[in-house]
Structure 1
Amino acid sequence: MGYKQMTIVGQLPKTFLWVAVAALALSACSKREEILAGAREDLRPDLEAVAKATTVPQISLPATQNYATWSHKNGAASHGVGNPALGSALTRVWAQNIGSGNGKKNKLSADPIVVGGRIITLDSTAGLKAFSTAGALAWSTDLTPIWDKAGTASGGGLAYGAGLLVVTTGFGEVLAIDPATGGIKWRHRMAAAISAAPVVIDNIAIAVSLDNKAVALNLANGRIAWQLQSGGSSTGLTGAGAPAATSGFAVVPFASGELIGVDTKTGTRVWSAALTGGRKGIARGFVGAISGDPVIVGKTVYAANQAGRMISIDRETGTRNWTANDGAYGPVWVAGGSVFVVTDNFDLKRVNAATGAELWSTSLPGYLKDGKRRRAAHVHYGPVLAGNRLIVASTDGLIRSFSPSSGALISTVAISGGAASQPAIVNGTLYILSGNGQIQAFR
């Protein structure tokens, strides 16, 4: 999941408690319940049992392909690539410290990218580093602005295009970096913090701040090419949805829940769509931010919020194709006529890309319990299709592989410190951040 290390405190709402008390009072005054004959069946069967009972359709996956560059989250500016080559039995080959990891105050939010034979990382306190594919440190740059103190902000992300590394930070800055040296080419300050990664396309970098403003900056000099403003209130998330783009077109998500399709050359709005709604009776239902990064596949855009809604819309018109009652904290993966998603309800699902109909569902570890109360939740990053299997990395310390056709668990490998980012898969090696502030390589 793209949303970084979110702690979800699970408490029963007060209204639920009052209803429970009333129910007990009524039951004390009522007549003895009549016991009916017959077998008892669970009204909500176990999710794994549902997955096993469902007829599993076959899937035709794209051929595996070796990628030498991983320029954005999920590999490309569109937030989608095909089927990266990856061996079946993963083993950790090296690990290096990137700086500050997850703490009480600061959280990792930037997924690693791989460009020019170097793995680029951003720690939770604006420390930028580059490593060779063997794990050797190439350079390190502190992106803390001179007008602020180190460690006072976290958030942001990484992207690459046209020979430049573009970084956003929780300090509200967009910076262009020389990927060979770590030198800063230019920096642009926005009026509010930036939580999500930028996107680089058509010689511009697009970034979105938490005050619902998007800006497109010229890669050559950092000057503003165009700007967008979304209406509505803002409730942002660390590591929330980042813009997605293909040549000439971008989809920009906002904390207000609005998606805007825009012409990248002029900044003209092509369409606007609202991603609203969610699960009933949950405290996070009021957070309208788009947490499931938009993904562009052909003429279709997929996106989700964290409250329990996922949509498919027409890329050219913004017309909605379908809506599913599942949310997501990261981008979906589209392949073989299917959409794969890790939902906000701790499920890995496969749905029909054309209709949104669920094909299978597999449960993932959910809430952590302290006695009888749910205190926090595991976070899951992915899914990523690689080596003909679905990869999901989790804060519980495991990287899991699943069958795309059935959802069955294939294998697991341990990740020390627990996963803290989406993986990047280049030249048969999987690179991923861990919560203890490391970049780890598996192949």
Structure 2
Amino acid sequence: MKIYGFKGGVHPPEKKELSKDVPITKIPLPERLLILTIQHTGAPTTPLVKAKDHVFKGQKIGDAQAFVTAPIHAPTSGTVKRIALFPHPNGRNVLGIEIEPDGKEEIFPDIPRDLSWQNLSPDEIKKRIREAGIVGLGGAAFPTHVKISPPPEKKIDTVILNGAECEPYLTIDYRLMLEKPQLIIEGLRILMYALGVKKGIIGIENNKKDAAEVLRKYIDRDIEIAILPTKYPQGSEKHLIKAILDREVPSGGLPLDVGVVVNNVGTAVAIAEHFKTGLPLISRGVTVTGENINSPKNLEVLIGTPVSKLIEAAGGFREKPGKIIFGGPMMGIAIYDMDTPVIKGTSGVVVFSEKETKYYEPVECVRCGRCIDVCPMGLMPTILAKYVRRGKLIEAEELGILDCVECGSCNYICPSRRPLLQWIRVGKTDILAKKRK
């Protein structure tokens, strides 16, 4: 199929060779699990259990009444030790449920078995996906049932699965495409059925052609594979749509405004596994990698596993760490506490040594225009950052600051080491807070 591409973007070192050939493995059951009540985009959940309660594997332990939310579940059977504040990857302490596993792996008796999706209506499928707590596993963690419930006036004709995995270092999606291709295709078909569409496309960067060949063995005429140029941020929803379909999501709009729903390949696996086993989303794949990790791995871990256990499973640090990032180095967030648990949006843990994390003092803008050249949204990052610093939020909004996808390409390319993205994030947060008021 014809590929259209998009303007801008960068080519950071891929660093995928560290873990791309390592099959997905499971780690031992940790001594404790910290299930945070903020796991996704939208309203946080409220605990449904209390200290000393016994919980079963797959039992719902938190939920909210809001539409944009997703319940949380016990990843294994055990005892609720306490409900308290724990470190979140976003840097704050948030309410969480600490579970001490009993090692019995007793499944919640009310878990539905053999959910044959072909016998369910689209609305029943959406309800099951919601109750399973499934969210986007590419990083944004947007509740999947919301994505596949567009307003009646928004006519969806295509579902795109994101297999680009354009973030440097991360390889968990690549391994899923190699190891679980049938589940990916099954999940895509469930999404297509729930949305009533006849066209599915899987977008894969051309540095993963072997994964594309594996998937091609299981597709039919209604599903296509789109091989995309390797360029960051190829995996952004808006840029996938532009590259594959040559449709441009309008300013302030969403993919559904151009008839498309985009999901991650990991999300498709989670959906297929739910209808196969009845279990909700209680584990996910995580790449643990970096030159400062002794044995980079692709791991399947329970939600709530402290990051220290992932580091331990990957052989530990080679030397004193300078920075540990949840996600990839372009869009990820540095954490400060080794007790920080895996949440539904944790796609990777990347570790850098102290010598790899030197701090460079920003200098004045040299007006080179590189940030403008690489911005995939056609924005002017240096001007937006200047407006935010000076409190000119109205001017920043008029220049399209809310369209920023926060890919970090401007930071990466800036020769003056200016924190452009950080200022833009501050501006977006302030503008959106004022709009809510």
Q: Give the helix-richer structure, 1 or 2.
A: 2
TM range (shorter): under 0.3
TM-score (norm 1): 0.27
Q: Give the strand-richer structure, 1 or 2.
A: 1
TM-score (norm 2): 0.27
